[in-house]
């Protein structure tokens, strides 16, 4: 579901206008508050949600991880270096809080070098799986990706 703005929280600062990669967050000409001018084109990247200093932008999560009518909200606090999520069901019975360090990777260093990868075999072409699917989602071996397994460590500052 695309982004929407709580008008009482928005102060029309323009951070979302600046950060939106689709250039669809703009300022309303009647109230001077932000709004999504083209919801169909929003791919829910959450850039504006996380950049908004007043937490005035919200997005409904997908129904495959939370039933309809739920709320999924996020606060990305870069000064603390953490990101917090809260998923709450419509009736309030499920109220899930999550907190994790921000693990933004250095620019340009985590791009898969597909040029060096071998071409898919005929078996792989005939398979319903996408190219490198089991490997890249790491379901075949080695467990989940972690900073340690990738040879990385937390850096002071999430901006590389």
Partner 1 sequence: MISTNPFSELAGFIPPMAMQIYIIVMFLMVIGGTILDTIHKKSAKYFFENAKKAEKSAKRTVSGGQKMGLAISTVASEVLTSSEFANPIRRLSHLMTMYGFITFIVASVVLIFMHPTEAAAGIWPVLWHLGAALLAAGGYWFWFFIRVDVSSEGKTWYKLCQADIFIVGLLATSTFGLLWSATQGSVLGWVFFSLFLLSSTVLFSTVLWSKFAHMFFKPVAAYQKKITKADGSQENLPDLGELTDPALQARYPDIPEYMGTNPPYMGLGIKRERPNHY
Residue 32 touching partner 1 (CB under 8 A): yes
Is position 45 an interface residue for partner 1 (rule: CB under 8 A)? no
Smaller CB separation from partner 1, 86 or 124: 86
* Euclidean distance between CA atoms 9 and 54, whole angstroms: 6
Which one of the spans 23-31, 35-43, 59-67, 115-123 is the region binding partner 1 (CB under 8 A)?
23-31
**Residue 13 binding partner 1, by CB under 8 A:** yes
- Residue 67 makes contact with partner 1 by CB under 8 A: no
How far apart CA 76 and CA 19 sit, in angstroms, is 15
Beta bridge partners of 59: 3
Q: Of 61-69, 73-81, 111-119, 121-129, which part binds partner 1 (CB under 8 A)?
A: 73-81
Q: Does 17 bind partner 1 (CB under 8 A)?
A: yes
Q: How far is the CB of 112 from partner 1 (least distance, A)?
A: 24
Does 159 bind partner 1 (CB under 8 A)? Our answer is yes
Q: Does 99 bind partner 1 (CB under 8 A)?
A: yes
Residue numbers at the binding site for partner 1 (CB under 8 A): 6, 8-9, 11-15, 17-19, 26-32, 51, 53-55, 71, 73-75, 77-82, 84-86, 88, 92, 97-103, 147, 153-154, 156-159
């Amino acid at each position: 579901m695309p982004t929407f703005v709580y008008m009482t929280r928005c102060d029309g600062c323009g951070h979302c206008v600046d950060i939106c990669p689709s250039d669809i967050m703009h300022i309303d000409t009647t109230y001077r508050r932000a709004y999504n001018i083209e919801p169909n084109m929003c791919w829910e990247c959450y850039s504006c949600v996380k950049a908004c200093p007043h937490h005035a932008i919200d997005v409904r999560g997908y129904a495959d991880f939370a039933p309809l009518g739920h709320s999924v909200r996020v606060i990305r606090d870069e000064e603390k270096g953490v990101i917090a999520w809260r998923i709450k069901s419509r009736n309030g019975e499920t109220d899930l809080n999550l907190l994790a360090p921000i693990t933004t990777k250095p620019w340009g260093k985590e791009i898969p070098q597909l040029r060096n990868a071998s071409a898919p075999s005929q078996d792989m072409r005939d398979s319903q799986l996408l190219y490198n699917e089991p490997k890249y989602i790491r379901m075949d071996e080695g467990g989940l990706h972690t900073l340690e397994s990738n040879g990385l460590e937390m850096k002071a500052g999430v901006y590389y």
